[in-house]
Structure 1
Amino acid sequence: MSEELFGSLRRKGQRRKAEEYVRGLLASSGRKTLRNIAGGPEDQAALQRVHHFISTSPWDWMPVREALARYVRRELAPAAWVIRSTVIPKSGPHMIGVDSRVGAARAKSPSGQQAVGTWLGSERGVVPVDWQLCLPERWLVAPLRRRAGIPPEVVAGTVDHCLREALHQVVAFGRAGGEPVVVDCPEAHTVDLVRELLALGLPFLTRIDPTTPLRLDRSALPKFGAGERPAGDLVNAMPQLRRRFESASGLTTAVSVPVTGPGVARSAGMLLTGAWPRDGAGERTLWLSGNGVSSPGAVLGLSRLSAAVARDGTAVSRDVGMCDFTGRSFPGWHHHMTLACVAHLMAVRAGLREAEMNRGPACA
């Protein structure tokens, strides 16, 4: 496994250091800082080696992520790519990408990093395979840009910009399995996002704001009006289309209506689905799907993968130090996040092995 994931690292010493770093993420207690991973404050030489490998060494993280994605697809048979935005709370302004406005708006923290993560998810587990860091403008100005080692081609990134980068990276990873893309980013501009997904030919499911304007597809619902209405109103106006679905998590009530959007062709086959947990009670969520994701059952199944990333994936990622990088180096952040993704995979595999052992051998 190690040779497969780290084979792109040219030198044997780099591969060994990558393995040691992953082991440190899994084994060290407390926050997974460079100092803790190096073995504590006593061994300054080890700390310098770890710091150099993560923060300044010029190894390319993208081949490692591509190898990770291939491995996860083969081992976990994922049902979808899941792309979610997240805020990583940070307490100081000198850490890479920190913006005081991010934490104040999203995380009840004075500052934070805004990032977009790409995960592969199945019933067996969810694993992150790629990350985009949304950089505020202040990080793109000298001398801060030079100190952080931010490459010339990197530009300031809103969540929408990072989403586009994440989607193009999904295409670059290769989609031999034809997995759909689930996007759960409340900050995204839905119409622009859908146009990008359609242009890339990706089957998709995206969470949608209730105020987003849409039209009923009158080719499927000819008796209803063709005016533009907020997505939430369209779902509420169709109680006769409500159906109940049963799953392992309980009953879900859903309404699905065919829709079109501004500048979107009807051939996209878009479906607006409103879902209520607990048999119609609880908070409603709205999802827009298309390019082949065309049934309420498929929508509800894929939406549960996004919930799994938010619930199970976040818990594992926290344990392996996904939020613990405290440096100002742009390559360092990506190196740390890449190896934390590998550590996340290792933790998921260990959990699967433990679950199989607890189940015991099947009865003859």
Structure 2
Amino acid sequence: MTEKQLSGVSRRLERFLHDLVEPMGRSERRHWAQVYIQGLLLDGQRKSVQPIAERIAGADEQALNQFLNQSPWEVTEIQRRLARRLADDGAGPVYWVIDETSFPKAGKQSVGVARQYCGAQGKIANCQVAVSLHWSQNEVSHPVSWRLFLPQEWTADPARRRQARIPPEAVHRTKQALALELIDQAQAWSLPGGTVLADSAYGNDFEFRAALRARKLSYAVAVEPSSVVWLEEPSVPLPPRTGKKGRPWRHPPLADMPAVRSLLAVAGGLPPPTWRTVTWRAGTKGAQSSRFALVRVWAAHGWKQRPKAPPARVREWLLIQWPKDQAQPCDYWLLWRPANDSAPSLRSAAHAARGRWRIEQDYRELKDELGLDHFEGRGWLGWHHHVTLVSLAFCFLRSEQARAKKNFRGELADDAPPAPSQPDQNGGPMSVVPGML
């Protein structure tokens, strides 16, 4: 935003933030929260404390730095209020999208920084990694909350913990565990549930999917083509015990189990009528469509390992995308719905599986427009304060976009001619409903 644009929305920004920043307590904290968010919204190459203080008239760099990095205000209640605001506005979620993003760093002092896979650079690099939960709807999505991934080299080092002021309860957890924490938090806030979407880093994890099923959450998660499945239920009866001293069988013999197939083999063995062309959304470059097939499967993760407690084998639906002009399928997903034995429609399955595109757009806007990755502090508290304030700025922008679109549609409604008609299948006129196509 330019200074003129920011001035034009200043009162709406104040009203937007009034209840959200109330948990910060002191009035000066609420004041500096609005100043910081104004700095995030204003045009500028860097969105860290010093450049923000230089851009905002009357801002004090020392006060902003103290507010961001030292002031002990909690982020959880602010995030909860923001999430509830979205729900109260009638923006019921369709999908809960789990993903992670990285923050490249030059030094070793920033909390959680380590040499690890950095998605921003596409390689192993020095960076921080955060897991986020986004609430996605038909047209927009919003970040709900965040978890900073702490490598073991951080959690096992008391000196680094003290220096970054990492709280005792923050221990090393896998990214899948952090994702489940975010989901549990959203459920504890009584947010309307949505289908969980995630990439193969989460979808490949058998335990992660089992945890979603235990929470009665639908999911559509990507999996790698190296995954293996059964096409029939692997409920083979155990052989009878041999002799009085023979141990009872825990697993049926491997030779008695159904054949295990790779996902590529499953795709190659499907008859032509199984494949159908589906359009899952209308993009800026035209309709997005491809060939899909939906198959009932049972995941065969670790089927040769023979654990003492055999995992429950649950039926899932395998969705495969195989464009006509490609030699092999390009993507695979596993889907599950609680208490529903029927298959989802192919279109709804494709829509869900392809619903993750919004989070990549969110990350791009959060970083390029609002400085999500511009935080220059080193501490645990400051990092969480920064990403929470960036989320508030992002959701305010989304509310302004929705307001502008509503006004634009209102102007069209006042000036536009009546909607044209199209013949239905029976030859009669069919009114075109806005948003229907």
Structure having the higher Rg:
2
Please give the per-residue CA displacement for 1:283-323, whole angstroms capped at 9, x wherever unaligned: 6111111024833222221233201211x212221111111
- Which secondary structure state, in structure 2, belongs to the residue aligned with residue 38 of structure 1? helix
Asked whether the equivalents of residues 204 and 223 of structure 2 are also in contact (C-alpha less than 8 Å), the reply is no
- Specify the alignment match of 2:298 in structure 1: 260
Q: Structure 2 length as normaliser, TM-score?
A: 0.74
Whichever structure has more helix as a proportion of its residues is 1
Pair 1:167 & 2:199 matched = no
Structure 2 gap segments, 5+ residues each = 1-15, 235-256, 301-310, 419-437
Please give the per-residue CA displacement for 1:52-72, whole angstroms capped at 9, x wherever unaligned: 111111111011111111122
Shift of 1:187: 6.0
Deviates more, 1:333-342 or 1:79-88: 79-88
CA distance in 1, matches of 2:228, 2:262: 4
Shift of 1:276: 3.7
CA distance in 1, matches of 2:151, 2:95: 30
Query: 1:236 and 1:326, CA in 2 relative to 1: closer, same or farther beyond 3 A?
Result: farther
- Which secondary structure state, in structure 2, belongs to the residue aligned with residue 361 of structure 1? helix
Asked whether the equivalents of residues 370 and 390 of structure 2 are also in contact (C-alpha less than 8 Å), the reply is yes
Asked whether the equivalents of residues 126 and 308 of structure 1 are also in contact (C-alpha less than 8 Å), the reply is yes
- Specify the alignment match of 1:232 in structure 2: 264
CA distance in 2, matches of 1:109, 1:347: 33
- Which secondary structure state, in structure 1, belongs to the residue aligned with residue 162 of structure 2? helix
Pair 1:361 & 2:375 matched = no
CA distance in 1, matches of 2:56, 2:24: 28
CA distance in 2, matches of 1:32, 1:105: 18
- Which secondary structure state, in structure 1, belongs to the residue aligned with residue 19 of structure 2? helix
- Specify the alignment match of 2:79 in structure 1: 65
CA distance in 2, matches of 1:161, 1:14: 32
Asked whether the equivalents of residues 264 and 329 of structure 2 are also in contact (C-alpha less than 8 Å), the reply is no
* Residue of 108, 129, 150 corresponding to 1:114: 129
Query: Which aligned pairs between 1:263-278 and structure 2 lie closer than 5 A?
Result: 263-266=311-314, 269-276=315-322
Identity of aligned residues (%): 26
Deviates more, 1:57-66 or 1:257-266: 257-266
Q: Structure 1 length as normaliser, TM-score?
A: 0.87
- Specify the alignment match of 1:306 in structure 2: 356
Asked whether the equivalents of residues 102 and 113 of structure 1 are also in contact (C-alpha less than 8 Å), the reply is no
* Residue of 9, 12, 18 corresponding to 2:33: 18
Shift of 1:274: 1.0
Asked whether the equivalents of residues 232 and 286 of structure 1 are also in contact (C-alpha less than 8 Å), the reply is no
- Which secondary structure state, in structure 1, belongs to the residue aligned with residue 20 of structure 2? helix
- Specify the alignment match of 2:421 in structure 1: none
- Specify the alignment match of 2:169 in structure 1: 153
Shift of 1:31: 1.7
Shift of 1:260: 1.7
Asked whether the equivalents of residues 114 and 127 of structure 2 are also in contact (C-alpha less than 8 Å), the reply is yes
Query: 1:123 and 1:358, CA in 2 relative to 1: closer, same or farther beyond 3 A?
Result: same
Please report the RMSD computed on the Cα atoms of aligned residues, expressed in angstroms.
2.8
* Residue of 238, 244, 256 corresponding to 2:277: 244
CA distance in 1, matches of 2:320, 2:404: 37
- Which secondary structure state, in structure 2, belongs to the residue aligned with residue 100 of structure 1? strand
Partner amino acid, structure 2, of 1:317 = L
* Residue of 77, 82, 85 corresponding to 2:92: 77
Query: 1:69 and 1:349, CA in 2 relative to 1: closer, same or farther beyond 3 A?
Result: same
Asked whether the equivalents of residues 278 and 291 of structure 2 are also in contact (C-alpha less than 8 Å), the reply is yes
Asked whether the equivalents of residues 122 and 305 of structure 1 are also in contact (C-alpha less than 8 Å), the reply is no
Asked whether the equivalents of residues 97 and 133 of structure 1 are also in contact (C-alpha less than 8 Å), the reply is yes
CA distance in 2, matches of 1:274, 1:46: 55
Structure 1 gap segments, 5+ residues each = 220-224
Shift of 1:279: 7.4
Partner amino acid, structure 2, of 1:255 = A
Please give the per-residue CA displacement for 1:178-221, whole angstroms capped at 9, x wherever unaligned: 311112253664211111111111111111111122222459xx
Pair 1:54 & 2:68 matched = yes
CA distance in 1, matches of 2:70, 2:323: 48
Asked whether the equivalents of residues 272 and 289 of structure 1 are also in contact (C-alpha less than 8 Å), the reply is yes
- Specify the alignment match of 1:101 in structure 2: 116
Relative contact order, higher structure (CA 8 A, sep 6+): 1
Query: 1:297 and 1:339, CA in 2 relative to 1: closer, same or farther beyond 3 A?
Result: same
CA distance in 2, matches of 1:5, 1:40: 24
